[in-house]
Structure formats: structure tokens, C-alpha cells
Amino acid sequence: MDLELRGSGLEPVGHYEEIEISESSVNNGPERIGPHCFELLRVLGKGGYGKVFQVRKVQGTNAGNIFAMKVLKKAKIACNAKDTAHTKAERNILEAIKHPFIVDLIYAFQTGGKLYLILECLSGGELFMQLEREGIFLEDTACFYLSEITLALGHLHCNGIIYRDLKPENIMLNSQGHIKLTDFGLCKESIHEGAVTHTFCGTIEYMAPEILMRSGHNRAVDWWSLGALMYDMLTGSPPFTAENRKKTIDKILKGKLVLPPYLTPDARDLLKKFLKRNPNQRIGGGAGDAADVQKQPFFRHVNWDELLARKLDPPFRPCLQSDDDVSQFNTRFTRQTPVDSPDDATISESANQAFLGFTYVAPSVLESIKEGFSFQPKVRSPRRLNSSPRTPVSPVKFCPFEAFKPSLVVEPMELGPPLVLPPPEGTAPLPIKTPTGTKKQKGSRGRAAR
């Protein structure tokens, strides 16, 4: 080593110890990961297949660190082939995809009756909760979040993955206020240029027309959903809602897009491009994908390189007192006693074969784990501004209206009449500032008029 240092023009200073950096020296050998490695702290969410807990690792590598632990019951998943496939796809995608705005998988393991995913614990909570508090976002605030989501979707698409369930409940904030996409249970892999899939799934209010029509869909569906999310951020609800599923679907397929007059021209233009019913005419639906979206005037002030490096200052920074602070999560869950029910369910050996290879340990402890995540269930309370609940749909849980057929050929979307009530004055997207030191906590801007 002395020769190597001198050959490079460097001299060793003082006493030093030579340590060979290798998989074994970094990870200290294979670690046996199981439920016993984690202390349950809080319940963060509940779903049909299990729970999500905030946990602390109590032994081995990363001892003392806070994570989110998603627990799935094998018996409920294994009874349906599609549920099993979606669970395996989620775990594989979480292992394969590493991106600043996509949740990281730290560990995955299983017991006789359960599957466990250990994720970073996103202490900033859901974007849904921020929308609840604010009512609507100003355009510069929406621009920041939409920009980070655009980079995340673009990365998924480059890897042949379509997301298919973009909505505020699946977008989490880390402790600094940057977004992370979570919940990859409805993703579809191997959808590259020219490939389509036909599964009916997603959340109704954010689903693209081609999914509802079952005409075959590709990555363009995510850009429709981003448009619906943008509309939600700027107006207080998705663009097409009604009192029931059938009427909501009918509006998505045939309804007019009503754009409030307070939106800036750039915002109006981008919304119309996102919400084109023909996916071939939709922004992002072509070969350029995310690159075409990034070029839109609405994002003209965004420095994409600094955004990707997370050097830009988020519009909201969660006020957190500690690493295990759960103040940004719904108290309906956090007040519950955290109990991981006994693993007494058994499934057949043949069914258990479907979960071979589920175990995973992140490859290196040299990667610092400072910011957190959570995984939230699909069934959540609708925002108070919505006229109808959001309706999550999976291939198993929901059978769409088999008898329902659109009564008209889908026509290009038209603008409806302007709103009668004068809304608040809009703001154009402003340049996103780089951090300049300690940022003051923003106060509530109040809710939109109901």
C-alpha cells in the first residue's frame, strides 16, 4: 500500500490500518433477518392483506435505525395467482429500482405464513395529508412535486415498468420534504416501446380511458394519471368525479374537461396535453416519454440536474421532533397498539413454492439510510373536497361493470364553460430556489372554499 501511495504522489500520515473492502468485511457475513430483529413502535397503515408498522432494528447491521415494515399474509395472497404475481413483482421492482424519488427496499424475508418488506420509514407522511391541510397548492408548489414525480416515472419507464396507481396516497414525503413513490403492487414489468397490457387496475379517478376501455395500454397511462394528479393539486379534486363508479367512468370517457379560469396559460396547456384521451396524442405518450414532459413551458424554471440531486428546496419541510416522529401520519392508525398477529396460518407446500427467492438484504451497509418511507394501504378516507370517494381497483378486488359499454365513441376533450364563482388568483410557477440555510416552517395557507 505504501508503494501505491507514493506512486500516486501521496504519503501516508501517522499510523494507519489496512482494511480490505469486500462484501464480507462490509456486511460482516450473511445476516439472518427475521421478525425478531425488529421492535414494533407504531401502526402506520392497514390493508386487506396485512399491516404496515414503524419498527426499530434491535440487532445486527443498522441496529437502532427506524424503518417501515410491511407485513403481508401469505394465505390471502396465495389463493389468487394474480395477487401472488403482483406481490412478487412489487418485491422484484423494489430490489431492482434505485432512484432518489422511489422508495428503497432494505430487507425482505418470510416466515411460514407471512411476507415481510422492510422499507425506509418516510417520516413526512403522505402528499395526501398535505393536500388535506392546504386544500389546493399554488402552482409553484405543484410544479416542484410534479417535477420530482416526472423523474421517478421516467426512470420506471426506462426500465420497462409502468406504475398504474399514481395518486396522492401513494406519494410520500421524506424528512426533508422530497417525494418518494411507494406501493408498487399494481406495476407491470416488461412494457417497453410498442408493448401493451390489458389488466384492469388502478384507482378509478386517476385511471386513463384506455384502461377503462380495455383497449390495451402502455406507459402513457402514467402521464394521464399525472395530469389527473396535477388537476387535483391545483383545484382540490381530480378532473372527473361523480357520485358512483359508473358515472365517474362515464365522465372520464366522455365528459368535458373544465379548467378553472385562475389557472395560468402554461398550467392549462399542460393539463390539456396530459388529459388527451388518445394516448398517441398525449404528452409523454411518444418515444420521448418523460423528456417531452420536461420540455413543457410549465417546467421552464426547473433545473432538472439540481432537482435530481435533491439540491432544490422543497416547498414544505415536515416539522419532526425525532426519528420516530409519526405526527405526519393518520392518528386513526398511529393510536392503535402495534401487534403483529401470531403466524399460525399455514399454506400448502406447493403454494409456498410461489414465494421462493423472496428474501433480500440490501447489498451494502455503506449506503447511508437517513430518510424514511412508509407504505400505505389503498383504502383511505377521501379528501373532503372530493365529490366521490377514490376507488382503488385491483384485478382481484373489483369486478368492473361488465354490462357497461360507452354509449358514444370517445371524442377529443373539449373545454367546458368557465366556473361561475370567482376563484383565488393563481400564481405562475416560480423559479425553485436552492437551499440558503435554515428554512422557516411555512404556515397553513388555509383551505379552499367548499
Task: Determine the pLDDT at residue 18.
Answer: 56
- The full set of domains in the chain, from first to last, is 35-122+334-366 (3.30.200.20), 126-319 (1.10.510.10)
What is residue 345's predicted lDDT score, i.e. its pLDDT? 67
The reported pLDDT for the residue numbered 272 is 97
pLDDT digits over 333-381, tens only? 999 999 888 766 667 777 787 788 788 887 653 343 333 333 333 333 4
Question: By percentage, how much of the chain surpasses pLDDT 70?
Answer: 72
Neighbouring CB atoms inside 10 A of 349's CB total: 7
pLDDT value of residue 262: 96
For the whole model, what pTM was predicted?
0.74
Q: 364-375: per-residue pLDDT in tens?
A: 533 433 333 333
Q: Which of 121-125, 192-196, 300-304, 395-399 has the lowest mean pLDDT?
A: 395-399
Could you report the per-residue pLDDT of 72-88, keeping only the tens digit for each?
A: 988 888 887 778 888 88
Binding-site positions for ATP:
44-52, 70
Res. 227: pLDDT tops 60: yes
State residue 30's pLDDT score: 62
Give the range among 88-102, 191-205, 221-235 with minimum mean pLDDT: 191-205
Predicted local distance difference test score (pLDDT) of residue 372: 37
Higher pLDDT, 331 or 430: 331
Mean pLDDT of all residues in 180-205: 82
pLDDT greater than 90 at residue 152: yes
Q: What is the pLDDT of residue 193?
A: 73
Q: What is the rounded distance in angstroms from the CA atom of residue 416 to the CA atom of residue 260? A: 10
By mean pLDDT, which of 52-61, 78-87, 175-184, 211-220 is the weakest?
78-87
Name the residues annotated as catalytic: 165
